Chain A
Amino acid sequence: MTYELISYILGGLTIGSALMVILSSHPVRSVMYLVITFFFISGHMVLMNAQFLAIVNIIVYAGAIMVLFLFVLMLLNLNKESEPRMPFAAQMAAIIAGGILLLVLLAALAESVLPPTRETSKQIAEIQNEGLVQNLGQLLFSKYIVAFEVSSILFLAAMVGAVLLAKREKQNTEEI
């Protein structure tokens, strides 16, 4: 019961901060609210016995990606006047489209067949250990070793692409 209460409160806070991400007019504020949202999502993951993923979520998302976003925002030096705005009718259309999307997703997930809740202590012990680093490491380096190696190539490609794209070209330096 206590855990249910915690998950409801965390869920409400998550939705609130996610709404603030898209509603706040200043991009830096959006980044900050997104960091808070990621922390709340990590809290949900801890509640569901995914400790490793919760830590990875904080390190990679809140720690690395969001700092990168903040860094780019500071580099661009935006102010409130330069913030582009959408016309009101288009915003309303977007909200209606989003509501229809939500309806479809909820209708699809409401039909999902879930297994019965586990009762015996052995099953509960099994589910408690699945998200720990030991089990995930054994899975990652035996069954999914190929995918793991391929992801390193993906990172190399992304790194080369990012350097190539962000490199200043000669003709641009003359214009600026």
Chain B
Amino acid sequence: MPALISHAEFSKEFYLFLCPILFTIGAVGLMIRKNMIVMLMCIELMLNAVNLLMVSFANFFGQGDAHIFVFFIIVVAAAEATVGLSIILMAFRNLRSIDVDMFKKLKN
């Protein structure tokens, strides 16, 4: 099967700016939202920004190993999302809220 894109090289330094911006958007979202589910989604966004940077570096250096690494990041993210969501479900069942500040009730 031939490659889908049969172009030569195009400037990919642009991704060195795009990926940190996406990562920062995820980090800021984690800080300004109090909804636990949206916070988990921001973590997914940060993971995906790192994946994109990893793929662009793989393209710079021509190494297939980085693709495998991204694959494992996706695997870990899937496991993390299931466990995180079940923790949120349990917290909602006990506290009747998805405000992340409700977790301070866990003290005592």
- Shortest beta-carbon distance from A54 to chain B in Å: 9
Taking a contact as CB atoms under 8 Å apart, the answer to whether A84 and B86 are in contact is no
Taking a contact as CB atoms under 8 Å apart, the answer to whether B44 and A61 are in contact is yes
Interface size in chain B (residues, C-beta < 8 A): 82
Chain A binding surface SS class? helix
Q: Of all chain A residues, which has the CB nearest B22?
A: A18
A/B pair count, beta carbons within 8 Å: 252
- Shortest beta-carbon distance from A116 to chain B in Å: 10
Taking a contact as CB atoms under 8 Å apart, the answer to whether B5 and A128 are in contact is yes
Bound-state Cα–Cα, A55 to B107, Å: 44
- Shortest beta-carbon distance from A87 to chain B in Å: 10
Digit string of A136-171 for contact with B (CB within 8 Å is 1, else 0)?
Answer: 100110011001000100110111011101101000
Taking a contact as CB atoms under 8 Å apart, the answer to whether B89 and A53 are in contact is no
- Shortest beta-carbon distance from A135 to chain B in Å: 5
Bound-state Cα–Cα, A50 to B4, Å: 10
Interface residue ranges, A against B (CB under 8 Å)? 1, 3-4, 7-8, 11, 14-15, 18-19, 21-22, 27, 30-31, 34, 37-38, 41, 44-53, 56-57, 60-61, 64-65, 68-69, 72-73, 75-76, 78, 82-86, 90-91, 94-95, 97-99, 101-102, 105-106, 109-110, 112, 114-115, 117-119, 123-124, 126-132, 134-136, 139-140, 143-144, 147, 151, 154-155, 157-159, 161-163, 165-166, 168, 172, 176
Shortest Cβ-Cβ A-B pairs, 9 listed: A22-B29, A94-B31, A98-B28, A158-B79, A128-B3, A84-B34, A105-B20, A84-B99, A165-B86
